Structure 1
């Protein structure tokens, strides 16, 4: 791939995604494209994580005298932006925040090329650590939690494999920023890849639909979304929207009192 010009590399990645969407295995795609199975898997994984931008070459950023780290003022700017805006409103090609979106934001604003691991450390410091839903749920002592994990979840996981769907778990929390309280809606898959956005006020049907619409924009596969059965999740408008988009997203409600 590295010996190819940028346009040819992009075309090869598009070919990989198209073949995968048609149901080809990683091995078959590798044989048809001349790539390694690892290379094919990495392309599909990046597209799942960040969407269409993964088809382009990664931007070549530069590090400043900070050695790839942010100073206090820069941290404040980044936090204010990721908690106050969605990436597309900052001219970034992402509907929701991801580590890749934050990396691009930092590179665009400050000319600092930052690693995935370093950004993850900053996000964790700011309260955005991806939860480990299966591990956390398995530690709950409630009978309903154990029963659901043992009796229901294996069937969901098996169906996801058959449908080539991606299981995501919803995590909703609150963060304080400059004296104000914001809510954060995030989805995380079983590999710890997280998409999130923040909002002010209570979550209503309109906000939830907007968030779900943004989530399906960045996925090339159907999403099986697991969440707690709150009233807003069962609102008529939300149910109707899910029916209209059943090929792209399906919601599975946890039993009452099961926490992830």
Structure 2
């Protein structure tokens, strides 16, 4: 292991002891493949001096060029595989300050936050909004879906001359935050007039990779009869058999004639292209300005009808990285 890799290992071992994921030096040594003596030394240094007790002692302050290619690889691997929280140097996100701490502890180089920002951009990093993933998601189930189950569905649909439609539902609330941002002078927050009423409409939609879009907007509860009626409508308008892919909502265990239902892995909404239509809808329909439920439903239908006439945008949903596998 390189010196930088050893520093990351120290941080991981101490973080595991601190969080209780391992109990005692012996278990930590077994899990991480190090000696009990090393675990004890690192733990005592951490208890005595905090994170500084685990820092590299051989480095010196200097510019970003002091970080060689091997150490950069170690730093980037640590950022990809762990959160700052797991390495005892920050919260759940890799902020510039967290990267400053990682560099100082692992390779002994002191950098400013501004310098770290420039250094990260130089090596292909950009600030991004993190994608959400459920703790309960089972990676093995997702891999089986991508490698085995969905390809089998696609093969059957092609042999039957059937369509594949991805279904999801969402709610629009009048008390949701207004979509988007508005430029304004510093210190003068822009104001948007909204309704003080609590209104809601529900939307169920289905999209296909060639640009087809079906939807229904309703105010009643989302129930099995509502879902079944929507699927029947999709099959009727498609004019052929439809393989419907949906999440594991209890209602989705219903079925309808001419429709074959397939359930995605649990807690994996990012695999459903229809989620991108939901996000598009919420960005472009300002529910907070609707004064009545009828008006909110009207605005939702108007937006969805516009998207029906824009199949190139619907096809674009399927080009997002996590759903490209669904292009048929």
TM-score by length of 2: 0.32
- Between Structure 1 and Structure 2, whose CA radius of gyration is higher? 2
Considering Cα pairs closer than 8 Å and 6+ residues apart, tell me whether 1 or 2 has the greater RCO: 1
The TM-score normalised by the length of structure 1 is 0.40
